[in-house]
Amino acid sequence: MIIIPAIDLNDGKCVRLLQGDFSRVTVYSDDPVTMARTWQEKGAERLHIVDLDGSRSGSPRNRDVIRSVVGALEIPVQVGGGIRNIETVDAYLRMGVAWVILGTAALKDGEFVKEACAAHGGSIILGIDGKDGEIMVEGWTEGTGRSVIDIAKRYEGLGIHAVVYTDIRRDGMETGVNIDATKKMAESIDIPVIASGGVATLKDIEDLLKVERSGIMGVITGKALYTGALKLEDAIRTAGQSSRSE
C-alpha cells in the first residue's frame, strides 16, 4: 500500500478544507512547489493534487502551478479538479501528469469517461466522493441520490487505474479513516481503491493495512501531515514493513 501526500490548491496556495467547506480553509503554504519537493524528499512515491478552484468552476484554475510542481518532481503526480472534457485530460497528460482524476464528470457525462479511458487507458483515475454512501459532486456541493458503489461498478472493465474513494464527513477532520466503507468499496469492484479522508494518526495506516488485501492500493493523507500528527516517513516505513512481512 502506497502513502500519497495531498496538495490541495486554492488561489495558488497549498490549503486544506474541513469536509470540503471553502469557508473553513487553512493555508499551509504559499509555495506548493517547495511543499511538493518536501514530500518527495521524505520518501513519497507519488503526489496527489486537487485544483479546488477548478472543482467549483468546472475547469482548471491552477494549471500553471500544477505545471511547475510536475516539472520540479521526479515522482509521478495525479491531478483532479475541474477535468470535464477530453481536451483537459490531453493537456494534463502532455504536461507530464501521470494520472488524471475524473470526479463530477463520471456521474454527469459517462460517455466522456469512457472516451478518456479508451484514449488513455491506465492514466485515468475515478474520483468518488461520498457522504453516508451517497455520491457528492461539484466540489462536494451537490448530492445526487446515487450510491457510491453503483457508480464505481458502472466503470469496471474500462482499464481505470484506480478509484479514489473519499469520505467527505471525515475529510480534513482527522477523525480516522472509514475503514468499513473503504473495505466494502474495495470488495465490491474489480478496480484498485485508494482511500482518502480522515487519516489522523499512524493507527489509521495500520488499520488500512489490515484490510489491504480487499483491494486497497494506497491512501491519501493531507491535514495530518501538515499538522504533524502523522509523519510521512513513519507511514511509509509502516506500509513497507507490512509488505515485507507478507
**Under 8 Å between Cβ of 154 and 110:** yes
Q: Nine-digit cell at 65?
A: 502551478
- Spatial separation of the C-alpha atoms in residues 101 and 133, rounded to whole Å: 20
Distance, in Å, from the CA atom of 156 to the CA atom of 7, rounded to the nearest integer, reads: 28
Whether 129 is catalytic is yes
Counting Cα atoms < 13 Å in the Cβ hemisphere of 29 gives 19
Query: Of 51, 129, 171, 204, which is the active-site residue?
Result: 129
The alpha carbon of 138 is separated from its chain's Cα centroid by a whole number of angstroms, namely 15
| Per-residue cell: 18 | 474541513
Q: What is the DSSP letter of 214?
A: G
**Which residues fall within 8 angstroms of residue 35, CB to CB, at 6 or more apart?**
7, 14, 28, 29
Short-list 158, 176, 156, CA closest to 167: 176
**11 carries an active-site annotation:** no
Half-sphere exposure of 48 (CA within 13 A, CB side): 25
Active site residues: 8, 129
